[in-house]
Amino acid sequence: MERRKFLSALGFITFANPVFAKEAEKQLNLMEKFGGAGAPDDEDFWGWIRESYTVSPNIINLNNGGVAPQPKVVQDAHIRFYQYSNEAPSYYMWQILDQGREPLRQKLADICGASPEEVAINRNATEGLNTVIFGLDLKAGDEVVLTKQDYPNMINAWKQREKRDGIKLVWISLDLPMTNEDDIVKAYTSAFTSKTKICHVTHLINWTGQILPIRKIADEAHKRNIEVIGDGAHTLAHFEFQVPELGCDYFASSLHKWMSAPFGSGLLWIRKEKINKVWALLSNNEPDGPDIRKFESLGTRSFASEMAIGAAADFHQVIGSKRKEARLRFLKDYWVNKVKQLPGVSFNQPDAPHQSCAIASIAIKGKKPEEISGELFNKHKIHTVAINWENIHSVRVTPNVYTSLRDLDKLAGAIKTMV
C-alpha cells in the first residue's frame, strides 16, 4: 500500500520541478532495491506508467519503433510552450525559450554520457546523419562500407554522394539473425580496403531489432584509420549505453522514438576533435569551425517542440535506463515465448539479451507479412508493421513502457488463432 501511495503521489509531483524529479528517481531506486518497485514484472509500477500516457484504449499500438507517443506531461509542456510563444512570437521564442537550449543540451549530454560541447539538437536521426554524410570531405574513389539492411534514408544519402561526387559504395548483406558477433564483424572487415574512408553502422537494425556489435566494428575500423558513423535512431533511451563508449566518431538518434519526445526531435553527437571536419549542412558564419552549435543554424523552428524535449528527458530519467531496458526486454520475451513453439512461426531477432531488446520480428510460414499485419489489425485492432526489405520478410512488433501484459496476451492469442 505504501508503494501504491508513493506511485500515486509521484504522478502529481514528479515533473512540476526538477528537484522533485531527482528526489522521485532516488526514491524509486530505493524502492526497487528493497521493495521491488519498477521490476520488469511489477504491474503496479508499469500500470502507473501506462496512465501517464493518453494512448487509445481501442487500438493496441505495437509499432512504437516507428514513432512513440508522448506521455501527457510532454504533451502539456509542448502545448504550454506553444501558447506561450504565440503571445509575442519574436520575443518569447528568441529571447525567452531560446535561453533553454543550453540547459537542454546539458540534460541530453548527461543521458548520452557525453560533453555538451559534442551534442547538437536537431529534428531526427535522418537530419543528423545527413549532416555528417554530406558534411565530410570525400573525393572520387573514396570508399564507404555499408549494408543493404541499413535505413533507406541513409542509403539514399550515400547514393546521392556517390552520384554527385564519384565516391564508391561497398555493399555487404547481413543474413539476419546473426548470433555470432565475430561473423558480423568479419562481414564488415572483409569489405575494408586501403581506400575505405567511412564505415556506416546501424546500431540496431530497424527491420528486425538486432543490435550490432558496433564497438567491435569500430575498433577494427579505427585500426585501419577508417572513421565510423553510427546510426542510433532506435537505440538512445531504448537500452543503456554511453554514446562515446560505442567507439563511433559520429552518432545520431531520434528522440521521438524511445525518449517519447515531441515528434520531429533528435540529436547529433560528434566527437569533439572531429567537429571541424564536418561542414555545416545549413549556412553558418563558421561552417568548418569547432563549435557543435554550427549544426543548429536552422532559422525559425518550433521552439515549443524543442523545449518540451526536456520534459521527455525527465520522464525517461525518473524511470531509469536500466529499469526501462529490463521492462522492454521482458515485454518482448513475454509474448515471443508464448508463440515461438507454434508450427511455422520463426523470428528474425537473436535470443541473446545483449543482441535485442524491445523489437521482435515474426514470420509465419505460408503467410505474407502484409497478410499477417492486416489480419492482426482488421480482426484484433493490433497495429504492427509489415516488413519487406531485401532478404527480410516479416512483421515487426514493438511494445513500449506503457504496453500491458493484457495487450500482449491478446497479441499471442491472435497469432495462435492465425496459425
pLDDT in tens, 262-305: 999 999 999 999 999 999 998 889 999 999 999 999 888 899 99
**Three cell numbers written together for 79:** 502545448
Averaged pLDDT, 296-325? 94
Question: Which residues lie below 8 Å from residue 83, measured CB to CB, with a gap of 6+?
Answer: none
At 87 the pLDDT is: 95
Helix ranges restricted to H, 320-404? 321-339, 369-380
pLDDT beyond 80 at 23: no
Query: Looking at residues 393-408, what average pLDDT do you find?
Result: 98
CATH architecture assigned to 323-418: Alpha-Beta Complex (3.90)
Question: Could you tell me what percent of the chain has a pLDDT over 70?
Answer: 91
CA 409 from chain centre, in angstroms, equals 25
Sole residue written with cell 514528479: 14
Position 64 pLDDT exceeds 60 = yes
pLDDT band at 3 (very low <50, low <70, confident <90, very high): low
| Angle at 203 (CA atoms; ends 201, 205), nearest 5 degrees | 95
Strand (E) or helix (H) holding 35: helix 18-35
- Would you say 228 and 248 are in contact if contact means Cβ atoms under 8 Å apart? yes
Residues 232-268: pLDDT tens digits?
A: 999 999 999 999 999 999 999 999 999 999 999 999 9
pLDDT given for residue 289 in this prediction: 96
18 Cβ neighbours under 8 A, 6+ residues apart: 314
- In this prediction, what percent of the chain has a pLDDT beyond 90? 88
Residues 6+ apart with CB under 8 A from 212: 184, 201, 202, 203, 204, 205
| 8 Å CB contact between 339 and 345 | yes
Q: pTM for the complete prediction?
A: 0.92
Question: Would you place residue 22 in the very low, low, confident or very high pLDDT band (cuts 50, 70, 90)?
Answer: low
How far apart CA 9 and CA 27 sit, in angstroms, is 12
Is the CATH number of domain 83-313 3.40.640.10? yes
Rounded mean pLDDT, 145-158 = 98
When pLDDT is cut at 50, 70 and 90, the band that residue 36 belongs to is: low
At 10 the pLDDT is 56
The pLDDT tens digits for 105-131 are 999 999 999 999 999 999 999 999 999
Residue range 368-382, pLDDT digits in tens: 999 999 999 999 999
Beta strands 168-172 and 250-254, pairing class:
unpaired
67-71, 94-98, 200-204, 217-221: the lowest-pLDDT one = 94-98
Looking at residue 11, its pLDDT comes to 55
**In sequence order, which residues have a C-beta less than 8 Å from that of residue 267 and are 6 or more positions away?**
108, 112, 119, 120, 121, 122, 128, 236, 252, 253, 255
The answer, yes or no, to whether residue 73 has pLDDT greater than 90, is yes
Model pLDDT, residue 323:
95
pLDDT of residue 34: 47
The domain limits of the chain are: 83-313, 323-418
Mean per-residue pLDDT for 63-81?
Answer: 96
DSSP state of 204: B
Give me the mean pLDDT over the 78-107 stretch. Answer: 95
